Amino acid sequence: MKRVFSGIQPSGEIHIGNYLGAIRNWIKLGEKLGRDAIFCIVDYHAITVPYDPEALAKRTFEAALVNIAAGLDPEKVTLFVQSHVPEHTELAWVFTTQTPVGDLTRMTQYKDKAARQVSVGAGLLMYPVLQAADILIYKADTVPVGEDQLQHIELTREIARRFNGRFKEIFPEPQAFVDPNAPRIPGIDGKAKMSKSVGNTIGLLEDPKQIWEKIRTIPDDPARIRLSDPGEPERSTVFTFLKYVAPPGMVQALAEEYRQAGVGTLVIKRILFQEIMKILEPIQARAAELRRDPDYVWDVLMEGAKRVRPIAQATMEEVRQAIGLLRPR
Ligand code: AQP
């Protein structure tokens, strides 16, 4: 592993699914790789679905702030905003011309998101092509993501392979890196995955009272109607969450009691709330500090873009020559 790249969309509040599935891994990789751990707030991706232009800049800044608050160390890694390095979209266009439409229409994320829209923009279809450009412009070999992104990373490999075969061997074929302990965090509705655009999230900076209200709604084993009914932890979304955030010994003991109807759901939900807040409290405290010093976040982002842009420019120049463009004299 020499260089990693990953991105996060400023399309809403960053949630514990993002944290457990991706950001936690980014922090670990940053410890190992330093500046070659490159992380990006992908604002051009966030505009592939309907969005509020008034809110985009603020959300982009917030996404950076939350990542730093969550433990991404800007003194070690590189963090920047996608639109500050315009070569990403330039490379995406080149890849667009080389990617069969059929490869894009079969993407699960495209199908899911398109189904939720009245009018589907072409940008939503091209989403994974831009993602491929984000990764390949830095010749990254590893992409730490949640399981939901595996199909896109496979497409990135195909795009690299196709380009290398047709023009010139420029790009590595990057590997996805999914945390086996948290590949896909479900939504608090117990369905699919926790997702900003579905609104089934627990935000990293959400008010604890609001978080508790949400935890109260997490579905329990539907077969357990009375407190005296034995429960099956495997059927309870409360336990699914608990496994991600509480020590295994604690989860095992609670599961045992639950099976014997020795503990009420509300008690387990209280414990889940406490365990989640143990993770979120330091993040929220650090975020409050960063809010008092926004210039620090600005400096991180400006410095990050300044550092990676020459890499992106050099790759783009290789690409322009490889595909046969007339270069200016
Ligand atoms: N529920 C999840 N479990 C594990 N990992 C997840 N990720 C997202 N949701 C989960 C991972 O977080 C990283 C950043 O995701 P993103 O914001 O760029 O896009 P996303 O995957 O599409 O996240 P959302 O919340 O579902 O956003 P919307 O609804 O706007 O598309 C990625 O590595 C992702 O795998």
> What digits encode the pLDDT tens for the residues 48-65?
999 999 999 999 999 999
Per-residue pLDDT, 264? 85
pLDDT band at 186 (very low <50, low <70, confident <90, very high): very high
The answer to whether residue 191 sits within a structural domain is no
Tell me the CA–centroid distance for residue 195 and ligand 1, in Å. Answer: 6
Q: Are residues 137 and 76 in the same domain?
A: yes
Give, for ligand 1, the residue of 112, 148, 200 to mutate: max count of ligand atoms closer than 8 Å to Cβ: 148
- Residue 326, pLDDT > 80, answer yes
Q: Are residues 68 and 115 in the same domain?
A: yes
The runs of H, that is alpha helices, within the chain are 16-18, 24-33, 43-46, 53-69, 87-98, 101-105, 108-115, 122-136, 150-166, 208-216, 237-245, 248-259, 265-291, 294-322
Q: Of 2, 7, 49, 3, which is closest to residue 146 (Cα–Cα)?
A: 7
> Looking at the DSSP assignment, which residues form a beta bridge with residue 177?
144
The answer to whether residue 90 sits within a structural domain is yes
Per-residue pLDDT, 265? 87
Q: Are residues 76 and 92 in the same domain?
A: yes
CATH number for the domain that contains residue 273: 1.10.240.10
Q: List pocket residues of ligand 1, CB cut-off 6 Å.
A: 6-9, 11-12, 17-18, 21-22, 145-146, 148-149, 184-185, 193-197
Q: Which ipTM was obtained for this model?
A: 0.95
pLDDT in tens, 13-46: 999 999 999 999 999 999 999 999 999 999 999 9
Q: Are residues 149 and 280 in the same domain?
A: no
The answer to whether residue 174 sits within a structural domain is yes
In one-letter notation, the amino acid at residue 9 is Q
- Residue 227, pLDDT > 80, answer no
- Residue 262, pLDDT > 90, answer no
Residues 6+ apart with CB under 8 A from 324: none
Question: Of 113, 139, 214, 269, which one is the catalytic site residue?
Answer: 113
Q: Stretch 102-128: mean pLDDT, rounded?
A: 96
pTM: 0.96
The Cα–Cα gap between 217 and 219 comes to 6
- Residue 158, pLDDT > 80, answer yes
Per-residue pLDDT, 78? 98
Residues 6+ apart with CB under 8 A from 132: 92, 95, 152, 155, 156, 159, 160
CB-count burial class (<10 Å; 0-12, 13-18, 19+) for 234: exposed
Q: Are residues 126 and 35 in the same domain?
A: yes
> What domain range is 173 assigned to?
4-186+294-322
CATH number for the domain that contains residue 117: 3.40.50.620
Cα-based angle 35, 38, 43 (whole degrees, multiple of 5): 145
The answer to whether residue 104 sits within a structural domain is yes
The answer to whether residue 202 sits within a structural domain is no
The answer to whether residue 115 sits within a structural domain is yes
